[in-house]
Every structure is written in structure tokens, then in C-alpha cells.
């Protein structure tokens, strides 16, 4: 069966020394591609190295809201330059996180907006991280309607909210939590999102799906996310993954 992971942090230190064998296995097991998003300058640099080394890994560059306080003009110039890299297919992950509030909210908003402008200028899609910040995230994305498209990564909101993002042209991506028994809102969202706007991901090394919850996540486990989403859509996992591959290529046009 083919597989795809639209969001995995393979540059995480947990995979150090293991990546060669992991990627070799993935090639044999049918993994088509992995998108590796960044969260700060060092992870952008590591991501670029991975995209050069492994054909199946594509990258996104950007400053996560947690680290927004570290974004300066030098960083913005750096990512503007790297958007031209042929295997950098998006700006991300960017957005707002009001759950942890690791950076002041006004700084998060300013850095988010600036990176949206960079994506627009580079004609690249965005990968959006949004936690407990749906109102402000939506309001900012709306100002770029028709100019920037993207994916709501590891979506955690309601179906009502998802409809608004769909109207802006965004894709909705599901990860491990869709497999959790206590997941209440997500099954409803997955059942309702049109097939041509769905993505799946692991967000490795975080958010490990059932039945491996508690262990380190890895892209191979995306099959459990695929199974659950496919079940909610009433189709086979194979059909779902084929659709997600199409959707991924439709949004990330450099792939």
C-alpha cells in the first residue's frame, strides 16, 4: 500500500543515526513522500540538508509561533532566499499558539503575518499551526484570501470552524488524535470534509496514534491515521491515500 506523511519532523534528534535505515524501509514499504516542516532557523537548515539527501523528503521553512520571539530581519531574509530552493515547497509551520503562549501574542501575530506575506511573494502555500487561537488565525488568513492557500496541520477545531477554512481554500489535515477514543469533534470533521480537501500526517515525533500511543511517533504510523479517516469516509485506506497524494500535489505545486 502507498503511504504519504504530509507533516513529520524528521530533523528531530530522536531520529539521529536512524534515518538512513528508516528511509530505506519506507521506500520498500511504499512511502511516496514526507514533508518536513521547520520551526526555527536551525531546523530550517537541518530540513534543507534532509531534502538534499533523501529524494522522498520535501521541506517547508518558517518560524513556529512558539519561537516567534526569535524571528528577526536576518531570519526573514534567510527564508526569502530559501523559498527559491527547488525542494522547499511551503512556508511553515507558522501560525498562532495561545495554549502555550511561549511568545507574546502580538509578536506571534506580527511574525505570522510577515511569513504569510513572504509566502504570497514566493507564490508558495503555507502550513498552519493553530492551537486555541482559531479566531485570530482565521481573521489573519482571511486577509490573504485568494492570495495564499495552505493546510491546517493537525487540525483540532470544530466542523463549524473547518468550514470557514475550507471557504478560504485551505486543506484540513488529520493526525494521531483522530485515532484517540476520547476524540469527540474530529470524527465529525473528518466525516464532513470533502475528499479533495483532506490530508493526513503524523506530526512525528509527537501525537503518536493508537495503537502506539506513548511511544515515539514515526511516519510509518500514518497508516493508522489513514485507516481511521478512511473508515469515517466509508472508503478503503488505499483509496484515501491515493486521494491525499493527489491533494498534496495540488496544493504543494513544486512537488
Stretch that binds Ni ion, among 160-168, 197-205, 213-221, 238-246 (CB under 5 A): 197-205
Are 21 and 236 within 8 A, CB to CB? no
Q: How would DSSP label each residue in 214-254?
A: TSPP-GGGHHHHHHHHHHHHTS-HHHHHHHHHHHHHHHSTT
Q: Which residue is it, cell 489535515?
A: 173
Among residues 152 and 233, whose Cβ is nearest to Ni ion? 152
Q: How far apart are the C-alpha atoms of 155 and 174, rounded to whole Å? A: 6
Q: C-beta of 65: minimal distance to Ni ion in Å?
A: 11
Q: C-beta of 234: minimal distance to Ni ion in Å?
A: 29
Among residues 14 and 145, whose Cβ is nearest to Ni ion? 14
Among residues 203 and 218, whose Cβ is nearest to Ni ion? 203
Q: C-beta of 205: minimal distance to Ni ion in Å?
A: 10
Site string for Ni ion, 74-103 (x = CB under 5 A): ------------------------------
Main-chain dihedrals φ then ψ at residue 103, nearest 5 degrees: -120, 150
Q: C-beta of 7: minimal distance to Ni ion in Å?
A: 6
Is residue 11 at the binding interface for Ni ion, with CB under 5 A as the rule? no
Kind and range of the H or E run holding 24: helix 19-29
Stretch that binds Ni ion, among 99-107, 137-145, 180-188, 200-208 (CB under 5 A): 200-208
The alpha carbons of the chain give a radius of gyration, in whole angstroms, of: 17
Among residues 127 and 233, whose Cβ is nearest to Ni ion? 127
Kind and range of the H or E run holding 191: helix 185-192
* Interface of this chain with Ni ion, residues 17 to 36, rule: CB under 5 A: none
* Interface of this chain with Ni ion, residues 202 to 221, rule: CB under 5 A: 203
Q: How far apart are the C-alpha atoms of 240 and 227, rounded to whole Å? A: 9
Chain contacts with Ni ion (rule: CB under 5 A): 203
Amino acid at each position: 500500500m502507498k503511504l504519504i506523511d504530509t507533516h513529520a519532523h524528521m530533523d528531530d534528534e530522536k531520529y539521529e543515526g536512524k534515518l538512513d535505515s528508516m528511509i530505506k524501509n519506507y521506500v520498500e514499504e511504499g512511502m511516496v513522500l514526507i514533508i518536513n516542516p521547520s520551526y526555527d532557523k536551525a531546523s530550517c537548515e537541518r530540513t534543507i540538508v534532509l531534502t538534499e539527501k533523501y529524494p522522498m523528503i520535501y521541506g517547508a521553512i518558517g518560524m513556529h509561533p512558539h519561537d516567534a520571539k526569535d524571528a528577526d530581519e536576518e531570519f526573514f531574509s534567510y527564508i526569502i532566499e530559501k523559498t527559491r530552493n527547488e525542494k522547499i515547497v511551503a512556508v511553515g509551520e507558522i501560525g498562532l499558539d495561545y495554549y502555550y503562549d511561549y511568545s507574546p501574542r502580538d509578536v506571534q501575530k506580527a511574525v505570522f503575518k510577515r511569513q504569510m506575506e513572504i509566502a504570497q511573494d514566493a507564490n508558495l502555500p503555507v502550513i498552519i499551526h493553530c492551537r486555541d487561537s482559531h479566531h485570530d488565525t482565521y481573521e489573519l488568513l482571511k486577509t490573504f484570501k485568494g492570495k495564499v492557500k495552505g493546510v491546517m496541520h493537525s487540525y483540532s477545531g470544530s466542523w463549524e470552524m473547518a468550514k470557514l477554512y475550507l471557504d478560504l481554500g485551505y486543506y484540513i489535515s488529520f493526525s494521531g488524535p483522530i485515532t484517540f477514543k476520547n476524540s469527540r469533534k474530529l470524527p465529525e470533521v473528518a466525516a464532513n470534509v470533502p475528499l479533495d480537501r483532506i490530508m493526513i500526517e503524523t506530526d512525528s515525533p509527537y501525537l503518536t496514534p493508537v495503537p502506539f500511543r506513548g511511544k515515539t511517533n514515526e511516519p510509518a504510523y500514518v497508516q493508522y491515521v489513514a485507516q481511521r479517516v478512511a473508515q469515517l469516509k466509508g472508503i478503503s485506506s488505499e483509496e484515501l491515500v491515493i486521494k491525499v497524494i493527489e491533494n498534496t500535489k495540488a496544493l504543494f505545486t513544486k512537488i
